[in-house]
């Protein structure tokens, strides 16, 4: 009868295998070994081929030694790291000798358990995070976002924002990341619930007062030169730096009259014209369920406070036709309070960034425009 270990690689190691492998492992692990470089390479290659034949105790001891070595044998190291078992997991979790390239390969081609272990590493580079974001399950992505030693590229943050709709926990974790900035806030706004939206509006908006002061008359001259230069990039830059005109009282009163008379489309077109934004931007903001975007618009152009509650109430009634529940007294009061809380200059900057985003996205999704 044949020895199972001779035909089944997963069978327990025989005494003969142990007697043969133990001295070879000892020889490789001894720091004072007389082996030259080529002999060590040969032993590394041979042992890597029979790691699965080692007795568990020998395999564990070799794995621990490999983690301690400054320059472990690479073939053997990778064979251990790729194994989806306890010894391999320890290697993935702690070994500093594993290259980023190999960790990325295991992330892309390995199991979800291996990805969970890699997330626990003390340091995770942007490149490794990119691979984890592309392949890991949501549970492990949440753990990755919570790791202080993890670093994220701008692309990974954008990808996670797009995946975060309906996932309040992920959005909250993204807000706590040091890589999260103004552009990301603009992107997340349209996907977030009201509590997150409020944080985004208040904490990720910026005034341009100091920049405008430094530019002085140069900004006015640039604005006058837009028609002559006829360069879209120049026009966008000037518009992003320039505060928009504030709405006059009679213009605001006319807008409210249009709403009272039920002329919704005419109201939107006139409001877009008065605020100097694209009609597509106006439609996106007016039909957004939460109503926060309209509060930003009204504050950006200094819509008269005396008419805010009426405008907020009527526009909520229109939105309620497609978004039931947005016209409750509590929802209306929330948006009126948000209008009061927002700073005019910051709201103006937000409005400019949203309007510019429409130019760069047929789907009207806010992109990296700041």
Are both 286 and 214 inside the same structural domain? no
Are both 213 and 278 inside the same structural domain? no
Element (H, E) at 58: helix 56-68
Please provide the size of the chain in residues.
Answer: 370
Which contacts qualify for 1-7: CB closer than 8 Å, 24 or more apart? 5/53
State the pLDDT at residue 31: 55
Q: Which residues of the chain are modeled with pLDDT < 50?
A: 1-7, 10-13, 362-370
Any residues with CB less than 8 A from the CB of 281 and at least 6 apart, and which?
A: 272, 354, 355, 358, 364
Q: Which domain holds residue 282?
A: 249-359
Q: Are 209 and 232 contacting, i.e. CB atoms less than 8 angstroms apart?
A: no
Q: Is 362 exposed, middle or buried (0-12, 13-18, 19+ CB in 10 A)?
A: exposed
State the pLDDT at residue 41: 75
Distance, CA of 52 to CA of 12 (rounded, Å): 9
Distance, CA of 75 to CA of 232 (rounded, Å): 55
State the pLDDT at residue 32: 52
Please name which of 321, 316, 318 lies closest in space to residue 332, comparing C-alpha atoms: 316
State the pLDDT at residue 230: 85
Is 202 a domain residue?
no
Are both 82 and 169 inside the same structural domain? no
Q: Other CB atoms closer than 10 Å to residue 349's CB: what's the count?
A: 23
Q: Are 194 and 292 contacting, i.e. CB atoms less than 8 angstroms apart?
A: yes
Is 103 a domain residue?
no
State the pLDDT at residue 368: 40
Out of 36, 65, 98, pick the residue that ends a domain. Answer: 98
Q: Has this prediction a pTM greater than 0.85?
A: no
State the pLDDT at residue 64: 76
CA dihedral 46, 47, 48, 53 (to 10 degrees): 120
Distance, CA of 254 to CA of 269 (rounded, Å): 12
Any residues with CB less than 8 A from the CB of 50 and at least 6 apart, and which?
A: 17, 21
Are both 219 and 302 inside the same structural domain? no
Are both 268 and 224 inside the same structural domain? no
Is 132 a domain residue?
yes
State the pLDDT at residue 270: 97
Are both 290 and 329 inside the same structural domain? yes
Out of 98, 133, 168, pick the residue that ends a domain. Answer: 98
């Amino acid at each position: 009868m044949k020895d199972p270990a001779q035909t089944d690689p997963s069978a327990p190691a025989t005494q003969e295998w142990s007697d043969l492998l133990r001295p070879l492992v000892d020889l490789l692990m001894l720091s004072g070994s007389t082996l030259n470089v080529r002999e060590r390479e040969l032993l590394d290659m041979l042992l890597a081929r029979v790691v699965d034949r080692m007795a568990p105790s020998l395999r564990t001891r070799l794995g621990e030694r490999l983690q301690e070595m400054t320059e472990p044998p690479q073939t053997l190291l990778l064979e251990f790291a790729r194994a989806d078992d306890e010894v391999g997991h320890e290697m993935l979790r702690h070994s500093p000798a594993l290259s980023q390239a190999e960790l990325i390969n295991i992330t892309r081609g390995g199991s979800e358990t291996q990805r969970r272990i890699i997330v626990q590493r003390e340091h995770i580079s942007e490149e490794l995070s990119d691979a984890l974001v592309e392949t890991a399950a949501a549970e492990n992505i949440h753990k990755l976002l919570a790791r202080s030693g993890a670093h994220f590229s701008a692309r990974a943050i954008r990808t996670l924002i797009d995946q975060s709709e309906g996932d309040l926990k992920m959005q909250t974790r993204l807000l706590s990341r040091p890589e999260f900035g103004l552009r990301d806030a603009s992107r997340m706004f349209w996907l977030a619930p009201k509590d997150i939206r409020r944080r985004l509006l208040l904490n990720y908006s910026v005034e341009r007062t100091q920049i405008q002061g430094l530019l002085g008359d140069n900004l006015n001259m640039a604005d006058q030169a837009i028609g002559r230069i006829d360069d879209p990039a120049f026009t966008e830059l000037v518009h992003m730096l320039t505060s928009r005109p504030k709405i006059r009282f009679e213009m605001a009163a006319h807008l409210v009259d249009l709403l009272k008379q039920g002329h919704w489309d005419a109201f939107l077109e006139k409001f877009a014209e008065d605020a100097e934004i694209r009609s597509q931007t106006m439609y996106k903001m007016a039909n957004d369920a939460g109503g926060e975007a309209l509060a930003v618009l009204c504050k950006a152009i200094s819509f008269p406070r005396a008419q805010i509650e009426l405008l907020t109430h009527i526009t909520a009634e229109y939105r309620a036709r497609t978004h039931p529940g947005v016209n409750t007294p509590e929802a209306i009061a929330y948006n009126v309070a948000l209008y009061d809380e927002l700073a005019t200059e910051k709201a103006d900057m937000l409005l400019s960034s949203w309007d510019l985003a429409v130019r760069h996205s047929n789907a009207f999704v806010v992109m990296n425009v700041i």
